Structure 1
Amino acid sequence: MEVKSNQNGFYADFEYGRLTVSGHEEEGFRPYQLMVASIAACSGAVFRKILEKKRLQLKSMTIKAKEERVPEEADRLKSIHLHFVLKGERLRPDIMEKALKTAMRNCAMVRSVQGSIDITESFEIIP
């Protein structure tokens, strides 16, 4: 990966397009937004894969991420709560809870920030 600077921040070009990163939301994604989104998407992908191995099909999954930052410490990310809203057939709460715990233990992004950012999760099953 190659990240280049410009007058508004930084950018990286990938096969699927350009990723623009800036400290100003009007100019690009803010770094903390990318980190939170990466953690949510990674854990969601691992969770989905675990459910597929159990032959459980999700019709939809929405992950609501809420972060807490510490202004006194350069606005560092202190914690992230991931709330999974799940829709599908035969989704039992006990199976979802176990699968979600397994996903969090096996997500590379969650593991990468372990000990630095407190990550918690919850879920709900909707009809």
Structure 2
Amino acid sequence: MEFKMQEVGFSTDLPFGNLQVAGDDEYGFRPFQLMVSSIAVCSGGVLRKILEKKRIAVKDIHISADVTRNEKEANRIESIHLHYKISGENLPHDKIEKSIELARKNCSMLQSVINSIEVTESFELVA
């Protein structure tokens, strides 16, 4: 990947398109937003694949991410709590719980930050 300096922030061209990154969200995605998004979407994508392999049909997965940052230490991300709202019919609570644990172990983005950012998960089943 190559990043080019802009008037504010940096940009890169990726196969899907141009990505603008800046410390001010008026000019692009903020770096912490991209990091949290990477962890949430990677976890959700792995979870989705696991559920498909287990033949557990879900209609939708909605992920909310609650982020705690430390202003005293360069505004670093201290913790991320991912909450999954999983909708479908007759979803087995225990299998969903085990699938989330398995997704945690297999999400490359989450595993990349495991010793520096506390990541926790919770979920609810929605009919």
Place the TM-score, normalised by the shorter chain, in its bin: over 0.9
Contiguous gaps of at least 5 residues in structure 2: none
Deviations 1:13-57 (A, max 9, x none): 112211100000111100000000000000001000110010012
Question: Where does residue 100 of structure 1 map in the other structure?
Answer: 100
Question: Could you tell me which amino acid in structure 1 is paired with residue 79 of structure 2?
Answer: S
Q: Which runs of 4+ in 1 moved over 6 A?
A: none
Q: Write out aligned runs for 1:69-88 (5 A).
A: 69-88=69-88
In structure 1, runs of 5+ residues without a counterpart are none
Percent of aligned pairs with the same amino acid:
51
8 Å CA contact 1:56, 1:89 repeated in 2: no
Number of equivalent positions: 127
The answer to which of 61-70 and 1-10 deviates more is: 1-10
Q: Specify the code of the residue in structure 2 equivalent to 1:77.
A: I
Does structure 1 residue 48 correspond to structure 2 residue 19? Answer: no
Deviations 1:84-109 (A, max 9, x none): 00011231111111100110011000
- RMSD after superposition: 0.7
Q: 1:2 is paired with a residue of what secondary structure? A: coil
